[in-house]
Amino acid sequence: MINRIDSVRQHIIEKLGDIVKETKYIGDQALMLRIDRNYLRKAVDIIHNDLNAYFRTMVAVDERSLNGTFASYYIFGLDAAHLNIIVKTHTSADEPVLPSIIDIVPAADWYELEAWDLLGIKFENRKVHRFVLPDEWPEGIYPLRKDVEYTYRPKPRKVPRQPPTGQRIPIGPYHPALHEPEYFELYVEGEKVVDVEYNGFHVHRGIEKLAEAPRFNYQKIPFLAERICGICGFVHSVSYTMSVERAAKIDVPERAEYIRSIILEIERLHSHLLWIGVVCHLLGYDAGFMHTWRIREKVMVLAELLTGSRKTYGINLVGGVRKDINMDKIEAVKNTIEYIRSEFKHLSDLITSISQIVKRASGTGILSRDDARKLSVVGPVARGSGLDRDVRRDYPYAAYRDVYFKVPVYNEGDNLARLLVRIDEVFESIYILEQLIDKLPGGPIMAEKLEVPEGVIGIGNVEAPRGEVIHVTITGHGRPYRWRVRAPTYQNIPALKIMLRDAPLADAPLTIASIDPCFSCTDRIVIVDLRSNRRFKASMEQIIKAGR
């Protein structure tokens, strides 16, 4: 394995020349390069464009107590080489400024804004603005800096607001009738969308900061991580524990790795079935919605049988799992997945034979392969645009090294392609589950030795139903020094600006839903008609009905 990394390293060194100050192996998954900030743009240009690496995440860190600087870790992925490349650079503690890379790596846009908002790192040659924090948050207080206590409760500052005009009904973004707060602003000319603005983070929970609190330690954080998502929480729990285990070189028992993979695939099944049902509803096929959720209910019952809970399973720990699978449960798994295969085959054949569904999804919400590549989108969004990417195969983890599966890829880049990817993945998940159950090894389910050294970086990645989840942990004393979480929706939402532009307004709900965003649905949209300069609000249900 090291030979492969060394070969890639030599190639990178040849490309970058003497601008690399230091290289360091991070296990067999990553290679870290320390680069002076003055050469950052050159380094990421070569890695992203010449080496064709994907941008995976960025981690800004307050390292003033460690080395007197702020640091930023840019993590790229060479999928074909199964290798992460971490570019680390430092900036002054007194005036933290880094060169912006968004003209080279467009996917880095949100990350730079977040680093400015939460750590006060400025970026040259670009405008920064309030992104995650609310407008009322006081200026000059950066919550992810180590000298800001996690218990800090600021006094909100007054923000001048424009008085509302016209007749308006204020609903949200904080409102009990909304599943999750979010805000899209669509600019239209007649029935055509010409631009899109997104405003999110209305309930940013500060989970990364919370994990630094004294009441958390390495073994309590998996339960916190699982609460990041109400549908796919287990992927976060596994990503976090994997990042710590890789940093600490903890040898997780093989049986525990298989159990994690089984639960991950069960989670993928119920998530995809949920999404396919929602799409049927959006397209007016409510019988399909009800039948999909009828099938999904069997998966939820199975999850409860295996873990004790339909959701938020709570079985994962650093070093293994808390709950085993006995023979009775194995039989239940086999019976359930056979039922799902039979029922879903009949239903999916029916869904894809309904001409109204196929016509509404074909040619709408298009994301080209080139744009998908520039934005480094993940999951079914990437695979629906012709990018053959899947973390389970490209960066193997848990028990995925021991199973065979296909990665469905469609080149059309439209809503239908993303629907077909998920339908195919339901069958692939069933196939993976069959193999995992047949090969489930014996042995312990928890590692014997659990020691986590300080000052080590680890990367955990899981192919979630929506795409890659990636957690980065820099270890500290008893708990992470820095824990960075990147969910797939964070990587995919910027693509909506391209997918919605110049498309009919009636297709907007399906296109937004097609990325399977990590909020329950899009409840509120502001529409701006550029011809009449009229602004009005419409519920998602109104637009859905108009499009039927």
Are 508 and 502 a contacting pair, CB within 8 Å?
no
Rounded CA separation 73/77 (Å)? 13
Buried b / exposed e across 243-253, counting CB within 10 Å, b at 16+? bbbbbbebebb
pLDDT digits (tens, 9 = 90+) for 138-161: 889 999 999 998 888 888 777 766
What tokens were used for 525?
A: 């949209």
Instruction: Report in angstroms the alpha-carbon separations of 112 from 130, 169, 547.
Output: 11, 34, 37
CA 63, CA 56: separation in Å to the nearest integer? 22
Q: What are phi and psi of 456, to 5 degrees?
A: -115, 145
- C-alpha dist (Å) from residue 447 to 19, 391, 443: 41, 24, 11
Q: Dihedral sign, CA of 235, 240, 246, 250?
A: negative
Of the candidate ranges 109-123, 166-180, 299-313, 423-437, the one whose mean pLDDT is the lowest: 166-180
CA dihedral sign of residues 266, 270, 275, 276: positive
Q: What is the pLDDT of residues 254-305, one digit of tens each?
A: 999 999 999 999 999 999 999 999 899 888 899 999 999 999 999 999 999 9
Please give the annotated binding residues, written as ranges.
208, 229, 232, 485, 518, 521
Distance CA 162, CA 151 (A): 32
> Is it true that the peptide bond before 173 is cis, omega within 30 degrees of 0?
yes
> Is residue 381 over pLDDT 80?
yes
CA distance 428 to 407: 8
Element (H or E) spanning 431, and its range?
helix 415-439
- Model pLDDT, residue 163: 52
With bands split at pLDDT 50, 70 and 90, how would you rate the model's confidence at 546? low
- Supply the DSSP symbol for 364: S
Looking at residue 18, what is its pLDDT? Answer: 84
Residues 6+ apart with CB under 8 A from 157: 136, 137, 138, 139
Residue 372: which of 490, 465, 197, 499 has the closest Cα? 499
Point out the annotated binding site for Ni(2+): 229, 232, 518
pLDDT at residue 526 in the model: 47
Rounded to the nearest angstrom, the gap between the alpha carbon of residue 216 and the centroid of all alpha carbons in its chain is 23
Instruction: Please write the tens of the pLDDT for every residue from 57-74.
Output: 999 999 999 999 999 999
Question: In this model, does residue 504 exceed pLDDT 80?
Answer: yes
pTM for the full predicted model: 0.90
Confidence class for position 171, pLDDT limits 50, 70, 90: very low
Residue 547's pLDDT is what? 53
Q: Is 513 exposed, middle or buried (0-12, 13-18, 19+ CB in 10 A)?
A: buried
Q: Find out whether 422 and 435 touch, Cβ atoms under 8 Å.
A: no
Between residues 7 and 475, the one the model is more confident about = 475
Q: Beta partners for 467?
A: 464
For 170-174, 213-217, 518-522, which range has the lowest pLDDT when averaged over its residues?
170-174
Per-residue pLDDT, 545: 61
d(CA 24, CA 449): 25
* pLDDT of res. 166: 41
pLDDT at residue 354 above 90? yes
Numbered residues of the known binding site for Fe cation: 232, 521
HEC per residue, 187-249: EEECCEEEEEEEECCCCCCCHHHHCCCCCCCCCCHHHHHCCCCCCCHHHHHHHHHHHHHHHHC
With vertex at residue 258, the alpha carbon angle to CA 401 and CA 251, rounded to the nearest 5 degrees, is: 80
Lowest-pLDDT range, 242-256, 273-287, 411-425?
273-287
Instruction: Indicate the annotated binding residues for Mg(2+).
Output: 208, 485
The CATH number of the domain covering residues in 1-163: 3.30.460.80
Cβ neighbors of 43 (< 8 A, separation 6 or more) are: 16, 19, 20, 33, 35, 87
Find the mean pLDDT for residues 317-340: 94
**pLDDT digits over 33-45, tens only?**
999 999 999 999 9
Q: Where does 352-414 have alpha helices with state H?
A: 355-361, 369-375, 379-383, 391-394
On whether the CB atoms of residues 319 and 447 are closer than 8 A, the answer is yes
Determine which helix (DSSP H) or strand (DSSP E) holds 165, and give its type and residue range: none
What's the pLDDT score for residue 107? 96
Q: Which of 1-10, 122-131, 328-337 has the lowest mean pLDDT?
A: 1-10
Cα Rg of the chain (Å, integer)? 23
User: Which residues in the chain are classed under CATH 1.10.645.10?
Assistant: 207-514
Among 80, 86, 75, 84, which Cα is nearest to 28's? 84
Residue 401 is which amino acid? Answer: R
Q: Does domain 207-514 have CATH number 1.10.287.1080?
A: no
Each residue's pLDDT tens digit, 176-233: 433 566 677 778 887 888 887 777 776 677 888 889 889 999 999 999 999 888 888 9
Task: For residue 302, give both structure tokens.
Answer: 């199975």
Mean pLDDT, range 315-320, rounded to an integer: 97
Beta-bridge partner residues of 193: 188
Is it the case that residue 401 has pLDDT exceeding 70? yes
Residue 173 has pLDDT above 80, yes or no: no
More confident residue, 389 or 186: 389
Where do the CATH 3.30.460.80 domains begin and end in the chain? 1-163
* Sign for the pseudo-dihedral over CA of 40, 41, 46, 49: positive
Contact 512, 184 (CB under 8 A): yes
Please compute the mean of the pLDDT values over residues 14-22 and round it to a whole number: 85
Q: What is the pLDDT of residue 520?
A: 36
At residue 433, the pLDDT reads 97
